[in-house]
Amino acid sequence: MVYCSKCGALISTGAKFCENCGEPVLYENETEQTTEETEQYDSNVYETTVPTDRIDENLTPDKSANKFGIAALVLGILAAVMVFAAWHPAVTPIDLIFGILAIVFGSIGMKRAKQNNSSSGMAIAGLICGIVAVSVAGFAMLCVGSCAIAACSTAGLAENLPRPF
């Protein structure tokens, strides 16, 4: 077994350079490499890891920024699924609330993702689902309200209601 003279890592049999630090390997029967060969090798070596003293904390993505995006996506999907039951008067207000929350959380998630240089895909998807759900739920509320007024007036139930004009 051969160990690197620079970093002490175990070197594979027949390797010419240390896989850990890139130091040229000298076996007992070989002579020292020329300075020209070493300089040529050093110019082709690239650092693959970032030292911890060079990491800028402002550029590392904050994982908590995705929480708003996830919340927006979940609420947006729930609101979009509830759209199919929007004809029911009890479901429509809940659908409207979920849609509004999806829009709010999606907006916050997009803003935080932009600040943290992270992905805002879930926030955008939740925002779109929320906008669709709010549009459909609002339209459904108008339709259900109009139908209720028409049914009450047809049945004669609206005769005793106060007139606005």
Each residue's pLDDT expressed in tens, for the chain with a length of 165 residues: 677 888 888 888 878 888 888 888 876 655 544 445 555 555 555 555 555 555 555 555 555 557 888 899 999 899 888 888 766 778 888 888 999 999 999 999 888 888 888 888 888 999 998 999 898 888 888 887 788 778 777 777 666 667 676
pLDDT score at 165: 62
Q: How far is Cα 123 from Cα 116, in angstroms, rounded to an integer?
A: 14
Q: Which of 78, 92, 101 is nearest to 144 (CA)?
A: 92
For 129, other C-beta atoms within 10 Å of its C-beta total: 26
Q: Are 144 and 85 within 8 A, CB to CB?
A: no
